[in-house]
Amino acid sequence: MCSNKTLKRFFTVILLAVIISSATTIFTLTPIASTISSKIPEIHTGAVEIIAENIGPLAPGVVKPGECLNLTLRVDIYNVRGAYAWMISEERDMLKLYNYTLSTRKYNSRLLELCTPSSIVSGVYDLVVVAEQEYTLPRSLWILTSIPKKLRIAVFSDLHIETGSPTPREGDINRFSATLIAHWINPDFIIWGGDITDTGSEYEAQITQVYRYTYLYKYPVLSVAGNHDWPGSSYTKYLGPLRWTRVINDKLLVIGIYTVPYAGVEGVAPPEDVAFLEQALLNYSHIPYKIIVFHYPMFYYQGELTTRYDDEVTLKPYAQGVVTPVSSYWSPNMTAFRHVLKLVEDYNVTVVIAGHIHRDQFVKYTSTRTNTTTYFMTFTSTAHGVALYNGVGLFELDLESGELSFPLQPPGFTGFTNRTTPIASNSLPIGVNVGGGLTYTPIRVFYSATGYKIIFENKYSWYSDLSARLLWVFPWISSQNTQVILTTNNTGNASISVLDKKLIIDKLFTLLELKLPYTNRIELSLYTIEDTTPPIIELFRSIPDIPVLNKTLTLYFNARDSEWGVNVESLRVLFNGTSIAVQVLKPTSYINHHNNVSLRIDLLARGSNTTITTLEIEIEDLNGKVSQKLYRIIFYPPGATPTEPPLKEIEIEEKPTQTTTPSPTPTPTLTTTPTQTSTETTPTPTTTPATPTLTPPPSTTMPTQTTQITTPTSSLTPPGVQGLYVLVVIVILLVVLIVVYALRVKK
């Protein structure tokens, strides 16, 4: 028998070991509670690096229930313990969580086989690999049980994330609008035609991943990179592979390759991509219908062509003064052009999709050699400068006959009609086009640290009864129990209702029913807190310190609102009673937080004698609460010494706080970068062109309704919670050992 002294030593050692291990666990585990924040993080922080080379958010792996998928990894991963796939799906008027365990087989540190259960339902899933940590591949697994006879396909191209024309705000409007139209037409999947980002930066790739997750959650997206995504390292890090093949229910083959303008003598088609295309067509030659996607169009032409790949009379390389349908992008390497066109003929490719030129061009190509027809469809830009308008492409492919159709044809639809000017009107118009003076569906989503304000407007008569059921997923606060402040405000017959919502870890899933007739507008606010106070306006810099006649005075202001944020569209600035322009320096786009806004105002007073002027600034927060500032500004002749403060705030009577959101106002275009050019020769600052809008008819503004909803976190176990379970077990064990030790000592 052991002595009491020996037992004491034994339990002391055990106790110390448990305490050390518990402390180590406390400092190494990162349960979800440790990341709880009272603020919604900036949009790009929600992106994750994807660990796979062959699948990603813009190229999900496609399998049927019970089938397996090989995962080629970008990094070495050891000790893989399992994998699971989960999604939120719409079931009638509710959101339902599906979560499935996948069986895994590891071939080596870079190759992993994942097998799905036969019971898994159709949809797009987040894929999670569990090893020493959890690795998430968002929207990267597409489960298909069946497909319709007519496959409906939407096309976005040239999104140029984080920019727009003339400013990023117009780009955001068009990108938001595109997702609304996508939900309206409800495609089976969406193709993106390249130039997804604008500079290829990591920041833009992160935003793209979150944009795809937030606004196109339920749709599979298959994308290729474009020249603006070059060199592609950020693209592959966050979005997916540069080249891929996907087979859809043994009926349709979709191939994406990377065409870039930096391939030297190879033109835009690098040899490795041409070889990949040829091998894919050979491997899947038995698939009846085929779509190829790349960024640079082979033709710059509108209409029908009847020829063959080796026709050197019709298909001449582009040069100045040469009439040819061949695009200038492929012309530097006609060998590659003819080789790819021969592959299209030999394998009877159904459709070739491209972008890049920011306009629609449709070519019906009939080969006199193989007697096959291929539809080359180049689509306009979704969110950047365009020849006619920004848009979303839509077509249907009959998987029994191979017939191509266009279920929604906007006014002026061109199709494959020959036109001398190579431009068409085939896409569905969206958003705004400032250069063309066009406004269709100016959708805005204001981001802030506490939530979102969404404004839907329909100003296109052809969309007479625009309605959609939206499954949008907003970045949210990580919390086990959080409130959602919900308000709506409409004009006319527009309506929106939140059918259901779920909070999963740090994402708020919302199922929205939207009805948006022509000329109508509706607003939806989703926030974590109530809005109780108006914004604060502060002058923080004046250049020069003393205003001088006949020289530009530049004033910098901050507008702050820690609750719902500042509405930059509500800015009103009067200089001596005359409305003038204002430059919004920050935020530069709708997707940046609007809680802190930086403004620049340029003023000029002409004359020779000391001149007293007034400057009035009015701004609202995103709940319609108004703040005003009034300043007296004295402009002095050059060299004069001020006899009183040259810039002084004047007290004004406080305006009553509005309880309803104001009636519809035109969507302003706000300059987002400071202008350094002197404006000495002009009496007022350089004006910024306003986004043209149609004048809305008389309408009724319904009072805002506010409801406070407590939304518990879903039962899906988030990453890190497993660590909490381990910690709880260790604490219980520690307590038991202490009790046993105390009893032993007492004896």
Give residue-wise pLDDT tens across range 294-313: 999 999 999 999 999 999 99
The C-alpha atoms of residue 677 and residue 554 are separated, in whole angstroms, by 11
CATH of domain 144-433: 3.60.21.10
**Pick from 659, 384, 663, 662: nearest CA to 519:** 663
Cβ count within 10 A of residue 536:
15
Confidence of residue 266 (pLDDT cuts 50, 70, 90): low
Amino acid at 648: K
Structure tokens at 481: 């129990």
The pLDDT tens digits of the residues spanning 526-578 come to 999 999 999 999 999 999 999 999 999 999 999 999 999 999 999 999 999 99
The pLDDT tens digits of the residues spanning 327-385 come to 999 999 999 999 999 999 999 999 999 999 999 999 999 999 999 999 999 999 999 99
Mean pLDDT of 49-53: 97
Three-state SS at 452? strand
Looking at residue 225, the DSSP 8-state letter turns out to be -
* 309 touches 336 (CB < 8 A): no
Q: What is the pTM of this model?
A: 0.85
CATH of domain 536-650: 2.60.40.10
Q: Which fold has domain 57-63+65-143?
A: Immunoglobulin-like (2.60.40)
Three-state SS at 710? strand
C-alpha distances (whole Å) from 405 to each of 220, 249, 251, 397, 399 are 21, 21, 17, 7, 12
The C-alpha atoms of residue 527 and residue 720 are separated, in whole angstroms, by 26
Please enumerate, as own/partner, the contacts of 678-681 that have beta carbons within 8 Å and a separation of 24 or more.
Answer: 678/552, 679/552, 679/602, 679/604, 680/550, 680/551, 680/552, 680/604
Identical fold for domains 57-63+65-143 and 144-433, yes or no, is no
For residues 200-234, b (16+ Cβ closer than 10 Å) or e, as one string?
bebebbbbbbbbbbbbbbbbbbbbbbbbbbbebeb
Given a cut of 60, whether residue 690 has pLDDT beyond it is: no
Dihedral sign computed on CA atoms, order 708, 712, 716, 722 = positive
C-alpha distances (whole Å) from 271 to each of 193, 260, 265, 336 are 20, 11, 10, 8
Least confident residue range of 353-357, 511-515, 618-622, 737-741: 737-741
The pLDDT tens digits of the residues spanning 695-715 come to 333 334 444 444 444 444 434
User: Where do the domains of the chain lie?
Assistant: 4-31+720-746, 57-63+65-143, 144-433, 443-530+706-712, 536-650
